[in-house]
């Protein structure tokens, strides 16, 4: 989906490719892989779409339509 949106000029971001408990900054807490399986799963599947206060209706429609197009192709 990210590639599809990028090809249409729509930026996306992956903010947490690794869940917080597995990041170096939190290593002192001692959590290991498997401690929070839902967070680990979500970190591999969440994609941030563009959303901001100044976003025009046209921009919103572009993102919504491109997302719908992606899932329509997957059927």
CA distance 75 to 72: 6
Amino acid 53: pLDDT: 96
Amino acid 74: pLDDT: 77
How many domains in the chain?
Answer: 1
CATH at residue 28: 3.90.1150.10
Amino acid 23: pLDDT: 96
* Residues 6/47, Cβ–Cβ less than 8 Å: no
Which structure tokens are listed for 66? 């491109």
Q: What is the pLDDT along the chain (75 residues), one digit of tens a residue?
A: 999 999 999 999 999 899 999 999 999 999 999 999 999 999 999 999 999 999 999 999 999 999 999 999 877
State which residues form the domain around 20: 2-74
pTM of the model: 0.77
């Amino acid at each position: 989906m990210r590639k599809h949106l990028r090809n249409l000029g729509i930026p996306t971001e992956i903010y947490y490719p690794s869940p917080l408990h597995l990041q170096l900054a939190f290593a002192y807490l001692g959590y290991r892989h498997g401690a929070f399986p839902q967070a680990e799963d979500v970190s591999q599947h969440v994609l941030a779409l563009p959303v901001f206060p100044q976003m025009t209706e046209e921009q919103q429609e572009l993102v919504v339509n491109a997302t719908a197009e992606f899932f329509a192709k997957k059927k």
